[in-house]
Amino acid sequence: MPKTKIHLIGNTSDFDIRLLRVFRAVVAAGGFAAAAVELNVTRSVVSTSIADLEQRMGLRLCHRGRAGFSLTEAGVSVHEQTLRLFAQLDAFQSSIAELHSSPRGTLRLGITDNLICIPEMNIVNSLRLFRSAAPQVRIDITTLPANEIEKAILNGGIDVGVIPQEQKLDGLDYIHLYDEPSGLYCGQHHPAFARPDTELSRDEIERMDCVGLNYPLPERIAATYRRHELAARVGDTEGVAFLIMTGHFIGYLPVNYAERWREKGAMRQLLPQAFGFTRHFSAVTREVAHRNKVLNAYLEALGEVS
């Protein structure tokens, strides 16, 4: 059986690199339409780019159609090599930047949603210090779930993340930053809002319709949610707040995040001594023997304000 000719071997152009970037985005997004939104281009541009890449490689990289998007066996291999290629390109750019006296290049920061509401996280203050110390560095911020941030750091797509940490993954370094308490809240239109704590029991509250989360949680927090009657699921903190404000649901929110509504009398925390949990936030980077100047400068700024 004749071997498939792979046209890119020994002759990779800038055009090929651009196509590979689109391919990487398609795999990360899980499909063409989502990748088009992420890349800010039309779906046809993404589709044409993948078709061009397949033609130049002489390989079919993915299945697409009514059954959904999936990688072929060759596509899985090409994707792994693509991640290695861009990690090597990033390492090359970092090594060149090291030759300059001041940090140059790009800081790729990954964060979870609503960190700006946590004063102790000091992301804004750390970026202020960092920008003053390294004005020639471009800053790219990506908002993702914590597990996706860890994957992106391991794959070389993000330099540093700020995430709630429950366990340590091999190959990553964690720097503890802050403990964030969360409490159980109801809105002003909820039947429990006007009732004093002395009239509310744990059993009654656990039977109330509660907002759950539609992504994986660490066991100790998942166990807290299992105590409740979960009547809705959302993907972020803002979605929880929306449903709490309807008056039909109770839900867990970070205390700092909910404070604005508590002060206005729009929300109330329910039995703080009985319901709540704490999340531990950390800065996370890839475990390497030598960090580049850009990452070192940001970690130094973060350390100064934490």
Q: Is the pLDDT of residue 282 over 70?
A: yes
pLDDT tens-digit series, residues 43-62: 899 999 999 999 988 899 99
Q: Give the confidence band of 276 by pLDDT, cuts at 50, 70, 90.
A: very high
**Among the ranges given (156-165, 239-248, 255-264), the one the predictor scored with the smallest mean pLDDT:** 156-165
Domains of the chain by range and CATH?
Answer: 14-94 (1.10.10.10), 106-176+281-305 (3.40.190.10), 179-280 (3.40.190.290)
If you average pLDDT over residues 108-116, what whole number do you get? 79
Mean pLDDT (the chain, rounded): 86
The β-bridge partners of 229 are: 209
Cβ-in-10-Å burial (0-12, 13-18, 19+) of 9 comes to: exposed
Specify the pLDDT at position 222.
Answer: 92
Work out the end-to-end distance of the chain between its first and last CA atoms, rounded to an integer number of angstroms: 62
If you average pLDDT over residues 195-221, what whole number do you get? 92
Contact yes or no for 42/52 (Cβ under 8 A): no
The residue assigned the tokens 């090597």 is 88
Specify the pLDDT at position 206.
Answer: 96
